Amino acid sequence: MSTEITVTVNGTEHTASVEPRLLLAHFLRDVLDLTGTHIGCDTSQCGACTVHLNGEAVKSCTVFAVQANGSEVKTIEGVADGETYSNVQQAFWDEHGLQCGFCTPGMIMTTEALLKQNPNPTEDEIRTGIAGNFCRCTGYQNIVNAIGVAAKAGR
């Protein structure tokens, strides 16, 4: 049973005919070829697939593409403004907030949402804020630093 959906992704409207069970993460990666959003688990925990759905950070592996019909989605590919990185991206680079890079797009998307909600988070609030994003490489230290730096830059 195919369903037609229209989703605006990173500002561009896309219409496609999809199976209802197609996960939003797979829609982004396989139908729209936006492979920056990654899949790291199948229990909705690791957060590597985090995108913004109507301005809110969500795990795109736990949303069907059909649920995003008529919605706006922002992925990692839509964060930079042309070649200008967001404060968050810049801070992740400057502070070495990534190693293998696989969790990074999701981590950045969560961070962007976190800082919008709470522009001046304490270290504890940062650590709790990213508790839904697993990283196996960095031990989180430089990620937390990067988020602090991004928060300062944003003010």
Partner 1 sequence: MPVTTFGESVRRTEDPRLITGRGKYVDDIRLAGMAHISFVRSPYAHANIKNIDTTAAANAPGVIAIFTGADLQEQLGGLPVAWLLPDLKQPKHPPLAFETVRYVGDAVAVVVADTPYQATDAAELVEVDYEVLPAIVNAERATKDGAPEVHPEAPNNIGFDWSIGAGDWDEVIKDPDVIVVKEEIINQRLIPNSIETRGVVADFDPGRENLTLYTSTQIPHLVKMLYAMVTGTPEQKVRVIAPEVGGAFGSKLYLYAEEVVCGIVSKQLGRPVKWIEARSEAYIATTHGRDHIGVAEMAGKKNGEILGIKIDLYANLGAYLSLFAPLIPSYFFGLMLGGVYKMPNISCHVYGVFTNTTPVDAYRGAGRPEATYVVERMLDRFAAEIGRDPVAVRRKNMLASHKNGRTVTLGVTYDSGDYKANLNKALEMFDYPAFRAEQRTARREGKLLGVGLCTYIEISGAAPSAVASSLGAGAGLWESAAVRVHPTGKVTVYSGTSPSGQGHETAWAQLTSSELGVPMEDIEILHGDTDQGQFGTGTFGSRSVAVGGAAIHKSVTKIIAKATIIAAHIMESDPKFVTFEGGSFAVEDIPDKTMTFQEVAGAAYGAANLPPGMEPGLDETSFFDPTNFTWPYGAHIAVVEIDQDTGKVDLIRYVAVDDVGNVLNPMIVDGMLHGGIAQGVGQALTEAAVYTDDGQLLSGSMMDYAMPTADIFPKFESDRTVTPSPVNELGVKGAGEAGTIAASPAVMNAVIDALSHLGVRHMNMPATSEKVWRAIQDAKETQRAARAAARNPRKQGS
Partner 2 sequence: MVTSNFDYFAPSTLDEATSLLSKYRGEAKVLAGGHSLIPMMKLRLAEPGILVDIGQIEGLSYVREEDGGVSIGSMTTYREMATSSVIQSNYPLLADASSKVADLQVRNRGTIGGSLAHSDPAGDIPAVILAIGGNVVARTRRSSREINIDRFQVDLLTTALRDNEIITEIKLPGLASGTGTAYSKFHQPASHYAITGVAAVITISGGTCTDARIAVTGAGDKATRARRTERILKGKELTPAVIRRAASRAAAEIGDALNDDIHASAEYREHLTQVHAGYAIEQAVAAAG
Residues that bind partner 1 (CB under 8 A): 19, 21-22, 29, 33-43, 45-46, 48, 75-77, 79-80, 85, 89, 92-94, 96, 98-105, 108, 123-124, 126-128, 130-144
Contact flag: residue 1 with partner 2 (CB under 8 A) = yes
Side-chain half-sphere CA neighbours of 91 within 13 A: 21
Report the candidate in 133, 109, 119 with the shortest Cα–Cα distance to residue 55: 109
Q: Which stretch binds partner 2 (CB under 8 A): 79-87, 89-97, 129-137, 143-151?
A: 129-137
| C-alpha dihedral (99, 103, 105, 110), degrees to nearest 10 | -120
Q: Which two tokens stand for residue 137?
A: 């490489």
Position of tokens 């709470």?
118
Q: Among residues 4, 6, 21, 141, which is the contact residue for partner 2, using CB under 8 A?
A: 21
Question: Looking at beta carbons only, is 21 or 96 nearer to partner 2?
Answer: 21
Residue with tokens 């300062």: 152
Closer of 4 and 123 to partner 1 (Cβ): 123
Q: List the one residue from 13, 33, 42, 81 that touches partner 2 (CB under 8 A).
A: 42
Residue 39 to residue 51: CA distance in whole angstroms: 12
Whether the CA torsion 84, 85, 91, 97 is positive or negative: it is: negative
> Interface residues for partner 2 in 80-99 (CB under 8 A)?
none
Q: Which is nearer to partner 2, 64 or 92 (CB)?
A: 64
Residue 7 in contact with partner 2, rule: CB under 8 A: no
